[in-house]
């Protein structure tokens, strides 16, 4: 905790110092040559910047684009999709903060999601900072030069992120736009196989073990080998579901290896988590189960409209009624971010049947 407080203090002081020094020269750049993108840290939030990166490359083909990402995510960007350079950033790591502070002189900084990251953009002396309006509390946005509203009508989050830059939407995604990253060797399944990713960031996004078992048996009847996947620390989920009968990659792969596991798969079935969004980038046929989350917000949208990606949800589930997106109230948003103490059993997930999932397979 002390290292995090120290890092935040460094960011705040450096941002304030730069703002005092350059308060007379702030203006939006007509032709930015160096652009910084500072998303929130989670894998899904990082990947949802892809439409923005595509639009930046179309609008500013000669610009140098740098994006801060968690160290574990950096390998996904090794082949520099859309020409972006991924810079490792972990608030607790003084080394990553020093490396970012060495990258001053950005013409433009874009902050999708949490506006507290605008302070990091200011700390590296970004000349113009753009973010979305309405974040709370207000001091998070003090470093922002231009606040843009969310869309007034339903849209996917990735498409909305691209609104931070003027101009028409980017061309829809094609898998060739993102070359596969190199990875360390691992034992990959042979033949046709399906990956079932059973982990998620919240217990309220989990599906019942008996349904996973029934789904695995149904896929094997279709002559697909079933392999399990989950994140580090989630190995127990697979054990509860399968008892060691089938191959499991739970907690064994880094993200670059996960890319290649998905790339070789005939099918991915996953919960609403970062792996679902990685699947859209890889281009693997995917079925994603949305319970408390919004299929509208976090599904294909326009940018990934051609992806072999299908959303399974129960529309208008009565308790999917919260209207908050990154602490902004949005009238058309319908999602649920309740905790396990507020909702002891995820009825929205339990309402999804095995048959619903099988019918959705692309």
Upstream peptide bond of 137 is cis (omega within 30 degrees of 0): yes
What is the value of pTM for the model shown?
0.96
Q: What is the pLDDT of residue 4?
A: 81
Please answer whether residues 29 and 108 qualify as being in contact, where contact means their C-beta atoms are separated by less than 8 angstroms.
Answer: yes
Tell me, yes or no, whether 197 and 112 share the same domain. Answer: no
Tell me, yes or no, whether 14 and 149 share the same domain. Answer: yes
Share of the chain above pLDDT 90, in %: 91
Tell me, yes or no, whether 243 and 345 share the same domain. Answer: yes
Instruction: State pLDDT tens for residues 251-275.
Output: 999 999 999 999 999 999 999 999 9
Tell me what the mean pLDDT of segment 163-167 comes to. 97
Please answer whether residues 224 and 191 qualify as being in contact, where contact means their C-beta atoms are separated by less than 8 angstroms.
Answer: no
Local confidence band at 7 (pLDDT 50, 70, 90 cut-offs): confident
Tell me, yes or no, whether 22 and 159 share the same domain. Answer: yes
Considering all CA atoms of the chain, what is the largest pairwise distance in Å, rounded to the nearest integer? 69
The token pair at 9 is: 């203090």
Q: What is the pLDDT of residue 18?
A: 85
How far from 53 is each of 173, 181, 229, CA to CA, in Å? 11, 17, 29
Question: Looking at residue 316, what DSSP letter applies?
Answer: T
| Residue at 274 is within a domain | yes
Local confidence band at 25 (pLDDT 50, 70, 90 cut-offs): low
CB-neighbour burial class of residue 345 (10 A; exposed 0-12, middle 13-18, buried 19+): exposed
Instruction: State pLDDT tens for residues 43-86.
Output: 999 999 999 999 999 999 999 999 999 999 999 999 999 999 99
Tell me, yes or no, whether 167 and 260 share the same domain. Answer: no
| Residue at 93 is within a domain | yes
- Count of domains for the chain: 2
Tell me, yes or no, whether 347 and 237 share the same domain. Answer: yes
| Residue at 279 is within a domain | yes
Tell me, yes or no, whether 102 and 158 share the same domain. Answer: yes
| Residue at 141 is within a domain | yes
DSSP 220-289: HHTT-EEEEE--TT-HHHHHHHHTTSS-B-TTT--HHHHHHHHHT-SEEEEESSHHHHHHHHHT--EEEE
Share of the chain above pLDDT 70, in %: 99
Range of the domain at 328: 193-360
Instruction: State pLDDT tens for residues 348-362.
Output: 999 999 999 999 999
How far from 180 is each of 76, 248, 270, CA to CA, in Å? 8, 23, 21
* Mean confidence (pLDDT) of the chain: 95
| Residue at 188 is within a domain | no
Local confidence band at 92 (pLDDT 50, 70, 90 cut-offs): confident
Local confidence band at 93 (pLDDT 50, 70, 90 cut-offs): confident
Instruction: State pLDDT tens for residues 136-163.
Output: 999 999 999 999 999 999 999 999 999 9
Tell me, yes or no, whether 333 and 281 share the same domain. Answer: yes
Please, which residues have CB within 8 angstroms of residue 68's CB and are 6 or more apart in sequence?
36, 37, 38, 39, 86, 87, 88, 89, 100, 117, 120
| Residue at 183 is within a domain | no
Tell me, yes or no, whether 225 and 268 share the same domain. Answer: yes
| Residue at 180 is within a domain | no
As a dihedral over the C-alpha atoms of residue 327, residue 128, residue 105, residue 163, rounded to 10 degrees, the angle is 60
Local confidence band at 5 (pLDDT 50, 70, 90 cut-offs): confident
Please answer whether residues 354 and 214 qualify as being in contact, where contact means their C-beta atoms are separated by less than 8 angstroms.
Answer: yes
Question: Looking at residue 172, what DSSP letter applies?
Answer: P
Q: What is the pLDDT of residue 2?
A: 67
Q: What is the pLDDT of residue 104?
A: 78
Instruction: State pLDDT tens for residues 284-330.
Output: 999 999 999 999 999 999 999 999 999 999 999 999 999 999 999 99
The three-state secondary structure class of 3 is: helix
| Residue at 253 is within a domain | yes
User: Distance between CA 90 and CA 54 in Å, rounded?
Assistant: 25
Tell me, yes or no, whether 240 and 133 share the same domain. Answer: no
Half-sphere exposure at residue 251, Cβ-oriented, CA atoms within 13 angstroms: 8
Q: Which of 305, 306, 296 is nearest to 272 (CA)?
A: 296
The CATH number of residue 344's host domain is: 3.40.50.2000
Tell me, yes or no, whether 136 and 234 share the same domain. Answer: no
Tell me what the mean pLDDT of segment 1-27 comes to. 81
pLDDT at 1 over 60: no
Tell me, yes or no, whether 209 and 349 share the same domain. Answer: yes
């Amino acid at each position: 905790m002390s290292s995090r407080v120290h890092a935040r203090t460094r960011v705040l002081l450096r941002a304030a110092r730069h703002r005092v020094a350059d308060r007379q020269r702030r203006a939006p750049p007509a032709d930015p040559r160096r652009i910084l993108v500072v998303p929130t840290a989670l894998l899904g939030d990082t990947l949802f910047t892809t439409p923005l990166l595509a639009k930046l490359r179309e609008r500013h083909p000669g610009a140098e684009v740098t994006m801060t990402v968690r160290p574990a995510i950096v390998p996904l960007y090794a082949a520099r999709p859309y020409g972006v350079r991924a810079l490792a950033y972990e608030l607790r790591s003084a080394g990553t903060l020093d490396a970012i502070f060495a990258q001053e002189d950005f013409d433009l900084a874009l902050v999708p999601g949490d506006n507290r990251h605008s302070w990091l953009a200011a700390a590296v002396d970004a000349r113009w900072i753009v973010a979305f309006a309405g974040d709370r509390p207000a001091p998070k946005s003090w470093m922002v030069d231009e606040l843009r509203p969310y869309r007034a009508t339903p849209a996917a989050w990735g498409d909305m992120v691209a609104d931070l830059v003027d101009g028409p939407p980017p061309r829809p995604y094609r898998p060739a736009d993102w070359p596969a990253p190199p990875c360390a060797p691992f034992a990959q399944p042979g033949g046709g196989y399906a990956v079932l990713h059973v982990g998620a960031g919240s217990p309220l996004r989990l599906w019942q073990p008996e349904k996973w078992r029934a789904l695995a048996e149904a896929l094997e009847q279709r002559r697909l080998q079933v392999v399990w996947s989950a994140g580090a620390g989630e190995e127990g989920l697979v054990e509860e579901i399968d008892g060691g009968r089938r191959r499991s990659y739970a907690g064994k792969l880094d993200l670059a290896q996960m890319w290649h596991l998905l790339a070789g798969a005939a099918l991915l079935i996953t919960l609403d988590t970062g792996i679902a969004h990685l699947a859209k980038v890889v281009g693997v046929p995917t079925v994603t189960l949305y319970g408390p989350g919004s299929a509208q917000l976090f599904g294909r949208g326009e940018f990934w409209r051609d992806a072999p990606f299908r959303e399974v949800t129960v529309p208008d589930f009565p308790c999917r009624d919260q209207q908050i997106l990154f602490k902004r109230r949005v009238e058309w948003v319908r999602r649920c971010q309740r905790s396990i103490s507020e909702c002891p059993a995820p009825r929205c997930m339990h309402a999804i049947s095995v048959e619903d999932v099988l019918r959705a397979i692309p």
